[in-house]
């Protein structure tokens, strides 16, 4: 999987306790492999807890709370799968504010699995998914299922390019 446009970028991953740990770790590894800075953004301060299949997983340090986060400080936003964390983020005003800011400024956003339901909260329709890749792309908005993570990250990598083919800068 080619992710070279992420190199040197700062990527926000928006979570609340209950996010899918396996997906989180896969995203974390992919970003580390290209020297991207992955920053955990959460409504929780200090630590946030993952969900690992049928029970609570590990706790992860939070880099910034939703209430203090500004989209301008990041190059892309990823919202991982996880029913529990999506349920927690749904009524969160700062999650909506952050998603609106990313989409208003035409910045790349990836919503995985249940997280695509959060798009409705900011009056965005999730793009239809391609039958072959399982990934939907509309402008700089990317949606996919958890089983299509590699293709979704590759699509997000592609939309990190500006209209003139230059990589977007922070």
- Spans of all domains in the chain: 4-159
CATH number of 4-159: 3.40.50.880
Order of strands, edge to edge, in the sheet holding 64-65? Answer: 64-65, 37-42, 10-15, 76-79, 109-112, 141-144, 135-138
Residue range 110-146, pLDDT digits in tens: 999 999 999 999 999 999 999 999 999 999 999 999 8
Cα–Cα distance measured from residue 108 to residue 142, given in angstroms and rounded to the nearest whole number: 8
Cα–Cα distance measured from residue 99 to residue 121, given in angstroms and rounded to the nearest whole number: 9
For 149, residues 6+ apart whose C-beta sits below 8 A from its C-beta are 23, 26, 27, 112
Residue range 3-52, pLDDT digits in tens: 999 999 999 999 999 999 999 999 999 999 999 999 999 999 999 999 99
Residue range 62-97, pLDDT digits in tens: 999 999 999 999 999 999 999 999 999 999 999 999
């Amino acid at each position: 999987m080619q992710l070279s446009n992420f190199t040197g970028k700062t990527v926000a991953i928006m979570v609340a306790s209950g996010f899918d740990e396996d997906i989180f770790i896969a995203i974390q590894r992919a970003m580390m492999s290209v020297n991207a800075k992955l920053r955990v953004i959460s409504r929780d301060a200090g630590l946030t807890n993952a969900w690992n299949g049928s029970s609570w997983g590990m706790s992860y340090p939070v880099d910034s709370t939703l209430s203090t986060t500004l989209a301008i400080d990041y190059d892309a936003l990823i919202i991982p799968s996880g029913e529990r964390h999506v349920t927690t983020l749904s009524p969160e005003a700062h999650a909506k504010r952050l998603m609106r800011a990313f989409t208003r400024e035409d910045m790349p956003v990836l919503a995985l699995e249940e997280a695509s339901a959060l798009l409705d909260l900011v009056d965005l329709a999730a793009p239809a998914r391609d039958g072959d890749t399982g990934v939907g792309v509309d402008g700089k908005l990317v949606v996919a299922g958890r089983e299509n993570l590699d293709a979704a990250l590759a699509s997000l990598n592609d939309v990190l390019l500006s209209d003139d083919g230059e990589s977007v800068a922070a």
